[in-house]
């Protein structure tokens, strides 16, 4: 411990059996289990996500991240025939993208479907790929795969090796690794807390008098990049792009003025709001894109978020540290231990938490 809060990376570790890693989503989005945690008392309850409306009330404001996940995983071939597995990160300029891959070498040409080629060069953020077409988004829409986290792919491979029937439908992955309200394309990982919402559930919340506000944060490398510094305060969070629409800023500020609660769906929506700091939200709501490298640590004073909906996150990850800052490290890790004991499904395709 360092004072009242721990900044030791090892203090954010927990153990779990690999069998609890969700290799696929539930049959229905809102069938996921929901661990309801009271962060003041530590009391927990166990429900289904479909019961969420019972915990929200008229005058609350639900804040959703409407960023759409790109089909950013692309498989190509070297001119020598070897396979190249790429995760495209962002467009630098038309036809030029940064990417992650362990299959590349400088100067290698990569061949893709539709006669598209790309030349690889080392970059400051992995690799830089210069494609023979400016329409890389079109290539991704036709041939890209959902950028599922490596631990899901590893779990599927283990299930397959054990003879268990595993999910392997690329079209289904593209649909289910996406929220039902996703609009602006730009994320390379899903804002997973939102995967459990359905149109009927959102309609029920609105009928109950819950405001719904939307923000955009394009989930990038920053959210899932591992923390390696033994002291988490030394971790540098890569910046991610976000937009706070004026109507959403107004809805959140009005909710606060009228005594309602601001309910952030996920750590990405939380980081958008908390990036305003002590300034009015409308200071960020100019209709343009901004960037944030905000890494929310224990001791952070939450200015805008009162309730957090979030999935279960990997040990020592930045989203787990954010949840610990919100509810307290001991409370979060106790809830995680309880979830493991009760066989909750973990991580991106897994179950959910509601932290009140």
In this prediction, residues 195-221 reach a mean pLDDT of 98
> Strand pairing of 83-93 and 73-78?
antiparallel
Confidence of residue 182 (pLDDT cuts 50, 70, 90): very high
The per-residue pLDDT for range 26-52, each reduced to its tens digit, is 999 999 999 999 999 999 999 999 999
Whole-angstrom distance, CA of residue 163 vs CA of residue 77: 29
Domain ranges for the chain, please list them: 9-69+173-355, 73-143
Helix (H) or strand (E) segment spanning residue 150? helix 150-161
Listing DSSP states for 88-109 in one string gives EEEEEETTEEEEE-SS--TT-E
Per-residue confidence (pLDDT) for residue 166, from 0 to 100: 67
Q: Residue 2: is its pLDDT beyond 50? A: no
Q: In this model, does residue 1 exceed pLDDT 60?
A: no
Give the span between the Cα atoms of 64 and 50, in whole angstroms: 17
What's the CATH number of domain 9-69+173-355, 1.10.357.10, 3.40.50.300, 3.40.50.2300, 3.40.1780.10?
A: 3.40.1780.10
Q: Tell me the per-residue pLDDT of 293-334, one tens digit each, with 9 for 90 and over.
A: 999 999 999 999 999 999 999 999 999 999 999 999 999 999
At residue 225, the 3 state secondary structure works out as: coil
Q: Is the pLDDT of residue 192 over 80?
A: yes
CATH topology of domain 73-143: Thrombin, subunit H (2.40.10)
Burial 131-158 (b: 16+ CB within 10 A, else e): beeeebbebbeebbbbbbbebbeebbee
Mean pLDDT, the chain, integer = 95
Structure tokens that stand for 178 in this block: 């996406």
pLDDT digits (tens, 9 = 90+) for 250-309: 999 999 999 999 999 999 999 999 999 999 999 899 989 999 999 999 999 999 999 999
> Of all residues in the chain, what percent carry a pLDDT higher than 90?
90
pLDDT score of 3 more than 70:
no
Could you tell me which of 240, 246, 356 has the C-alpha nearest to residue 305? 356
Under 8 Å CB-to-CB from 91, ≥6 apart: which residues?
97, 136
């Amino acid at each position: 411990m360092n004072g009242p809060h721990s900044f030791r990376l090892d203090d954010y570790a927990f153990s779990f059996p690999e069998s609890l890693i969700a290799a696929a989503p539930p049959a229905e989005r809102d069938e996921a289990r929901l661990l309801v945690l009271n962060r003041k008392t530590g009391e927990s309850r166990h429900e289904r996500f479909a019961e969420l409306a019972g915990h929200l009330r008229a005058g609350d404001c639900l804040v959703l991240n409407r960023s759409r996940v790109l089909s950013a995983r692309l498989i190509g071939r070297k001119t020598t025939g070897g396979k190249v597995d790429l995760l495209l990160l962002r467009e630098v300029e038309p036809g030029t993208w940064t990417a992650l891959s362990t299959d590349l070498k400088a100067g290698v040409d990569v061949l893709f479907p539709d006669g598209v080629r790309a030349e690889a060069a080392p970059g400051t953020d992995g690799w830089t790929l210069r494609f023979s077409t400016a329409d890389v988004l079109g290539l991704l829409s036709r041939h890209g795969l959902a950028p599922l986290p490596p631990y899901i792919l590893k779990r599927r491979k283990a299930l397959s090796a054990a003879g268990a029937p595993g999910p392997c439908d690329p079209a289904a992955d593209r649909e289910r690794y996406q929220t039902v309200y996703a609009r602006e394309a730009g994320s390379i990982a899903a804002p997973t807390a939102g995967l459990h919402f359905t149109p009927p559930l959102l309609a029920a919340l609105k009928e109950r008098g819950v405001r719904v506000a939307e923000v955009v944060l394009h989930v990038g490398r920053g959210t899932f990049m591992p923390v390696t510094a033994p002291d988490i305060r030394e971790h540098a969070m890569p910046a991610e792009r976000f937009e706070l629409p004026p109507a959403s800023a107004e809805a959140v500020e009005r909710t606060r003025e009228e005594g309602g609660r601001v309910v952030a769906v996920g750590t990405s929506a939380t980081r958008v709001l908390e990036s305003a700091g002590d300034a009015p939200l409308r200071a960020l709501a100019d209709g343009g894109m901004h960037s944030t490298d905000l890494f929310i640590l224990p001791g952070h004073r939450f200015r805008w978020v009162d309730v957090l909906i979030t999935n279960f996150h990997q040990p020592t990850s930045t989203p787990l540290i954010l949840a610990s800052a919100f509810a307290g490290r001991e409370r979060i890790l106790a809830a995680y231990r309880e979830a493991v004991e009760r066989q909750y499904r973990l991580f991106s395709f897994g179950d959910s938490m509601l932290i009140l």
